[in-house]
Amino acid sequence: MSFFQTNKESMIKSRIVELMAKKIGKEASKDELDELSELLLKNPGYAYLLEIVLSLKGSRNHFERDLPQEELVDHGWQHLADKLNLQPLVDDDTVSVEKRGRIKNIIYSRRFWLAAATVAVFLGCSMFLYKTYFGPQQLAEGKKLKETHYGTVANLILADGSKVWLNAGSKLLYPDKFSGSQREVTLEGEGFFEVTKKPNMPFLVHAGKITVKVLGTKFNVKAYTEDADIETTLISGKVQVMLNDDPEKEILLSPNEKLTVIKPLAINATSAQINNELKYQVQALPVAANNNLTETAWVSNRLVLNNEAFDNVAKLLERKFDVHVFFDNDKLKDEHLTGVFEKENIQEVLDVLKMTTHFRYRIDGNNIHLY
Amino acid sequence: MYLTKVINTKNCMQPLLHRIQFDNDETAFKEFYKENVFRLFQFAFAFARNKELSEEIVNDVFLKLWQHRSKLNKIKNIQVYLYVSVKNTAFNYSRKNTGRKNMGIEEISTDHFYLSPDQEQILMTDELKKQIEQSINQLPPKCKLVFKMIKEDGLSIAEVAVILGISYKTVSTQLSIALKKLALLLQPSLKEHEIKI
């Protein structure tokens, strides 16, 4: 009797391990995931094992213990860039051009790239100076700036091991080494932070009119200058949000809470009063399916719309796809949309949205007209 | 786990790749390079065992990618493409240098694998963490490489199979071996959890 029991037991255990492997290897089907959940309910010891394995992360630091990742990458790029300038495009269409004379092509390429590089540098500089938030500040010694254009998401690891995901059209100013009693960075745009715990050295994010102070936690800050408000969403841990104009006020956030700070209106020459009071609101977000929170979907490159007003959606689309959206019919701005998107391109997204909301669109290069 | 690895950004590579191919955008190419290069350095290092060579191998791959950028949109899975290219380039180098015909997968060994449990998700004693690390690092080389590529590089079983040129079944078996080993190691703690519930 006991022989059969042990045999069955070990078969079940093998099945659990097999399903766990599939889950971790991203190959489990919905049925398999359900089966795994059921099995784990009956074998809680294995549930613990799964929790552990899922929480494990390989640490990047082992490759070079003395050279940080960023230096290695820059170094590699330097070498590649040198080789790049001498390489013509290998393309069936331009074969005839190349045949005419390799030297000619190389010179053409070099000049083109030199021109392109100059333009890029010029644009970069002028934009940098134009953004008055970073205004008179020069990039101080030891400070670095990471910037993302529309249509791209970037991620980086700070000197203390904290991870930052930068959404499209954002900037992060950070030191290459943290020293002193606090770790401080400045954000413009949207960033998701996974901060390493350092109880004696709190982590501060300056984002326009607010400063977010954390000890060790995961949270999202959305502070685009063109937006009317600043949002902070906390996923886990604890943060304290301080309003720069009212330092006495400290708002403590618990996981799955979102703080929205409404920026004061710009000074209007004709208005009698300047309202400088920052208004804010804390909302609790639905706990189910963290992955589907609208606020942080962008980190895993999804777009999650939960009854969002169309004009907000337009902004999200502009940043994600690097397009311009024009409302030829203003009434559309108030339409509310729902949907989850991951790999779709802009046209596919619009087609899906069209199915439940009445509108038409026209694509003209990078411009999208809605009517 | 809330966030799967950094490599989820592979989906957002599309706009960059588009700019590289259709706009000859060198800035996009630089950004693409920076996003991917460190992982690929480490992967190359597993074969080359030499820092300078790893950099050369990876740069070779990116250089070719740039040269052939007009066909970028024909690549279905850019991550797999990059890893496979690095592996092939590494094999070519080793053939040149050692004159050996084939470098088997068995020859690869990955560096010491440091694991860090997410403290927000699960509390673990340092002791246990060290034991887990040791357990993983003592896995046979193929098994360890598979575990690393899945956990650290965020690749799926199918992708690992294509990259390493081994069967899907082999990859999932290797992963199961790693899990069973961990289960064995954690026996006492697992039992604790069974009794609690």
Predicted confidence (pLDDT) per residue in A245-304, tens digit? 776 777 777 777 777 776 654 433 333 333 444 566 666 666 545 556 777 777 777 777
C-alpha dist (Å) from residue A227 to A145, A205, A209, A311: 22, 18, 13, 12
Task: Tell whether the model's pLDDT for residue B58 goes beyond 90.
Answer: yes
Element (H, E) at B117: strand B115-117
Name A218's bridge partners.
A194, A236
Q: Tell me the average pLDDT across A49-73.
A: 68
For residue A39, how many other CB atoms are within 10 A of its CB?
17
Give B27 or A127, the one with higher predicted confidence: B27
Name A164's bridge partners.
A156, A193
Query: Does A292 reach chain B within 8 Å, measured CB to CB?
Result: no
CB contact under 8 A, B62 and A300: no
Partners of residue B42 in chain A, C-beta under 8 Å: 60, 63
Which pLDDT score, from 0 to 100, does residue A284 have? 67
Partners of residue B172 in chain A, C-beta under 8 Å: 18, 21-22, 25, 27
Burial class (CB in 10 A: 0-12, 13-18, 19+), A293: buried
Q: Tell me the average pLDDT across A343-351.
A: 84
Which pLDDT score, from 0 to 100, does residue B99 have? 54
Q: Which among B157, B171, B193 is the nearest to A44, CB-wise?
A: B193
Q: What is the CA radius of gyration of chain B?
A: 19
Alpha carbon of A63: minimum distance to chain B alpha carbons (Å): 7
Element (H, E) at B135: helix B126-137
pLDDT digits 0-9 by tens, A284-300: 666 545 556 777 777 77
Name A194's bridge partners.
A163, A218
Alpha carbon of B184: minimum distance to chain A alpha carbons (Å): 10
Q: Which among B66, B120, B196 is the nearest to A218, CB-wise?
A: B120
Alpha carbon of B100: minimum distance to chain A alpha carbons (Å): 26
Query: Does A9 reach chain B within 8 Å, measured CB to CB?
Result: no
Name A172's bridge partners.
A146, A187
How many CB pairs (< 8 A) connect A and B? Answer: 198
Partners of residue B164 in chain A, C-beta under 8 Å: none
Using DSSP, state whether A279 is helix, strand or coil: strand
Q: Locate tokens 């992708």: which residue?
A: B159
Q: Tell me the average pLDDT across A47-64.
A: 69
Structure tokens at B59: 């740069």
Backbone φ, ψ for residue A69 (5° rounding): -55, -45
For testing the chain A interface, which of B9, B36, B71, B78 should be mutated: the one with the most A CBs within 10 Å? B9
Partners of residue A61 in chain B, C-beta under 8 Å: 114
**Average pLDDT in chain B:** 77
Q: Looking at beta carbons, which pairs linking B183-187 to residues 24 or more positions away fall under 8 Å? A: B183/A13, B183/A17, B183/A46, B183/A49, B185/B131, B185/B132, B185/B135, B186/A48, B186/A49, B186/A52
Query: Does B88 reach chain A within 8 Å, measured CB to CB?
Result: no
For testing the chain B interface, which of A52, A111, A192, A318 should be mutated: the one with the most B CBs within 10 Å? A52
Name A284's bridge partners.
A257
Evaluate whether A105 touches B69 at the Cβ level (below 8 Å): no
Alpha carbon of B16: minimum distance to chain A alpha carbons (Å): 7
- In chain A, which ranges are E strands? 56-58, 143-147, 154-157, 163-166, 171-175, 183-194, 203-207, 210-214, 218-223, 229-236, 239-243, 246-253, 257-262, 279-284, 303-309, 324-327, 336-341, 361-364, 367-370
Distance between CA atoms of residues A163 and A216, nearest Å: 11
For testing the chain A interface, which of B162, B176, B192 should be mutated: the one with the most A CBs within 10 Å? B176
CB contact under 8 A, B55 and A53: no
Task: Give the range among A332-346, B17-31, B158-172 with minimum mean pLDDT.
Answer: A332-346
Query: Does A245 reach chain B within 8 Å, measured CB to CB?
Result: no
Partners of residue A342 in chain B, C-beta under 8 Å: 11
Query: Does A126 reach chain B within 8 Å, measured CB to CB?
Result: no
Q: Locate tokens 């330092």: which residue?
A: A247
Q: Which among A116, A236, A291 is the nearest to B26, CB-wise?
A: A116
| Amino acid identity, position B22 | F
CATH number of the A302-370 domain = 3.55.50.30
Distance between CA atoms of residues A258 and A283, nearest Å: 5
Alpha carbon of A23: minimum distance to chain B alpha carbons (Å): 9
Select the CATH number that applies to the domain covering B110-196 from these four: 3.40.50.360, 1.10.10.10, 3.10.105.10, 2.40.30.60. Answer: 1.10.10.10
Task: Give the range among A283-297, B44-58, B118-132 with minimum mean pLDDT.
Answer: A283-297
Q: Locate tokens 């997968």: which residue?
A: B105
Of the CA atoms within 13 Å of residue A222, those in its CB half-sphere come to 23
Alpha carbon of A274: minimum distance to chain B alpha carbons (Å): 42
For residue B122, how many other CB atoms are within 10 A of its CB?
14
Does the structural domain A144-292 have CATH classification 2.60.120.1440?
A: yes
Query: For chain A, what are the domain ranges?
Result: 2-51, 67-130, 144-292, 302-370
Which pLDDT score, from 0 to 100, does residue A303 have? 79
Burial class (CB in 10 A: 0-12, 13-18, 19+), A44: middle
pLDDT digits 0-9 by tens, B126-142: 777 788 888 888 888 88
Alpha carbon of A319: minimum distance to chain B alpha carbons (Å): 11
Which pLDDT score, from 0 to 100, does residue B167 have? 87
Q: Which among B6, B63, B112 is the nearest to A83, CB-wise?
A: B63
Structure tokens at A283: 């909302």
User: Which architecture, in CATH terms, is B6-103?
Assistant: Orthogonal Bundle (1.10)
DSSP label at residue A132? T
C-alpha dist (Å) from residue B68 to A75, A77, A94, A357, B39: 23, 18, 12, 42, 22
Give B115 or A232, the one with higher predicted confidence: A232
Query: Does A91 reach chain B within 8 Å, measured CB to CB?
Result: yes
CB contact under 8 A, B186 and A48: yes
Distance between CA atoms of residues A262 and A227, nearest Å: 9
Which pLDDT score, from 0 to 100, does residue A215 have? 65
Backbone φ, ψ for residue B180 (5° rounding): -65, -40
C-alpha dist (Å) from residue B156 to A155, B40, B163: 21, 16, 11
Structure tokens at A119: 């333009």
DSSP codes, A133-187: TTTT----TTEEEEE--TT--EEEE-TTS-EEEE-TT-EEEEESS--SS-EEEEE
Query: Does A163 reach chain B within 8 Å, measured CB to CB?
Result: yes
Alpha carbon of A269: minimum distance to chain B alpha carbons (Å): 41
List the end-to-end C-alpha distance of chain A, in Å, as a whole number: 74
Q: How far is CA B174 from the centre of its chain?
A: 15
Query: For chain B, what are the domain ranges?
Result: 6-103, 110-196
Distance between CA atoms of residues B20 and B27, nearest Å: 8
